Amino acid sequence: MTYTLDQLAAETGVSPSRIRKWIYRGIVPHAIKPPEGGRPHYTIDHVKRIREILDILDRNMTLADLYDYFHPLEDDELDALEELEDAWL
């Protein structure tokens, strides 16, 4: 099943403007654009992601926390952060 933005909003209970904001911030993936043209659409994976976000927000996490949750650092990035921490201590 595919969804328009309005259908995705209705399915998840989240306003279209908030979904757009989450897409802009990289927390929700962009809509899928068909290669042959046509309207972009959303899938059940988008619904699941939004529901997961709502669950996390219920635990009082911030949008920055959400971004970190969905975009974990790679090992080399963690090593670089540890080196910076060591330099500051």
Q: How far apart are CA 13 and CA 69, in angstroms?
A: 22
Contact assessment for residue 11 and residue 48, using Cβ atoms and an 8 Å cutoff: no
Supply the pLDDT for residue 69: 78
If you ran DSSP here, which 8-state letter would residue 72 be given?
A: P
Mean predicted confidence (pLDDT) in 53-60: 86
Query: Tens of pLDDT along 13-39?
Result: 999 999 999 998 888 999 999 888 888
What the chain holds in terms of domains, given with CATH numbers, is 5-88 (1.10.1660.10)
Query: Percent of the chain at pLDDT above 90?
Result: 42
Please state the pTM of the whole predicted model: 0.71
When pLDDT is cut at 50, 70 and 90, the band that residue 85 belongs to is low
